[in-house]
């Protein structure tokens, strides 16, 4: 697998409404955590300013906007990363979308989202796909990498299968991480931090089990100790 520094395996999701809250949380966690995710809610509130503020602190940023539009729009949107230190960015795992983002990415690595971790078997059947969730994840992973993605986002339940099929080169980033003492919330395909990393994930994305903890720094530190 691509070498990943131990303190960068954990990406904490800054799923808070304002830049002030996000930066306060990042500052509390920064002695332990070096990688943070900026999602749609925070980005709509604070834009690239919060990404830039994190980068100026020497932290890495995953921008999780999950682009899914016509190729020209995706390319133009991805081009906006220029001048901002965005390490990873997400798009939905459709070949035309991935290809457009990959051509305009600059120094950012593009991750293709295969199937959202909130999607279960019943929702898959309703979408009309005849195969299993694992089949759909594998299909989207293979086609996305062929289209130029640097890696994929999948649930921890598909990580071992994809690592076996895709080899060591692609990045695999797994949300849906829940320590043993956590609730699933709205996630349906979850695993513990250690299980995800042992299955081959380069990075795990953790939000509420850290950000909603009484002591977020202690919660993050416990996860890092588990996966080292």
Q: Helix, strand, coil shares of the chain as percentages rounded to 5?
A: 45, 20, 35
Q: Is 63 helix (H, G, I), strand (E, B) or coil?
A: strand
135 is in an annotated binding site: no
Joined together, the tokens standing for residue 59 give 């932290």
The answer to whether 69 is a known catalytic residue is yes
Given 60, 66, 105, 150, the catalytic residue: 66
64 is in an annotated binding site: yes
208 is in an annotated binding site: yes
207 is in an annotated binding site: yes
200 is in an annotated binding site: no
Q: Cα angle vertex 103, ends 111, 44, to 5°?
A: 55
Task: Write the DSSP assignment of 175-203 as a string of letters.
Answer: --B--TTS--TT-SS-B-HHHHHHHT-SE
122 is in an annotated binding site: no
66 is in an annotated binding site: yes
143 is in an annotated binding site: no
69 is in an annotated binding site: yes
Query: Which pairs with CB-CB distance under 8 Å and at least 24 residues apart come from 98-103?
Result: 98/143, 98/144, 98/147, 98/148, 98/149, 99/71, 99/147, 99/148, 100/71, 100/72, 100/74, 100/75, 101/67, 101/74, 101/75, 101/148, 102/147, 102/148, 102/149, 102/150, 103/75, 103/148
Given 7, 60, 69, 186, the catalytic residue: 69
The answer to whether 185 is a known catalytic residue is no
Given 52, 56, 60, 64, the catalytic residue: 64
Q: Closest Cα partner for 113 from 162, 82, 154? A: 154
72 is in an annotated binding site: yes
73 is in an annotated binding site: yes
The answer to whether 64 is a known catalytic residue is yes
117 is in an annotated binding site: yes
Query: Which parts are annotated binding residues?
Result: 15, 37, 64-73, 117, 178, 187, 207-208
Query: Which parts are annotated binding residues for substrate?
Result: 15, 37, 64-73, 117, 178, 187, 207-208
Residues designated as active site: 64, 66, 69
């Amino acid at each position: 697998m691509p070498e990943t520094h131990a303190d960068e395996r954990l990406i904490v999701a800054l799923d808070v409404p304002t830049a002030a809250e996000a930066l306060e949380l990042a500052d509390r966690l920064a002695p332990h955590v070096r990688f943070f995710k900026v999602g749609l809610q925070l980005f709509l509130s604070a834009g690239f300013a919060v990404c830039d503020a994190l980068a100026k602190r020497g932290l890495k940023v995953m921008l999780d906007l999950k682009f899914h539009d016509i190729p020209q729009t995706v390319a133009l949107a991805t081009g906006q990363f220029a001048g901002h230190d965005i390490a990873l960015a997400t798009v939905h795992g459709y070949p035309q979308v991935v290809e457009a983002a990959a051509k305009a990415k600059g120094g950012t690595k593009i991750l293709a989202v295969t199937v959202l971790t909130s999607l279960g078997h019943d929702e898959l059947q309703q979408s009309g796909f005849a195969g299993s969730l694992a089949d759909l994840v594998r299909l989207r992973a293979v086609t996305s990498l062929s289209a130029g993605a640097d890696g994929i986002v999948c649930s921890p339940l598909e990580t071992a299968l994809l690592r076996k099929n895709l080899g060591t080169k692609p990045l695999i980033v797994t949300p849906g991480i829940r320590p043993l003492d956590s609730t699933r919330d709205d996630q349906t395909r979850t695993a513990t931090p250690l299980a995800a990393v042992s299955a081959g994930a380069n990075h795990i994305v953790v939000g509420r089990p850290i950000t909603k903890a009484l002591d977020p720094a202690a919660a993050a530190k416990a996860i890092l100790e588990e996966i080292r």
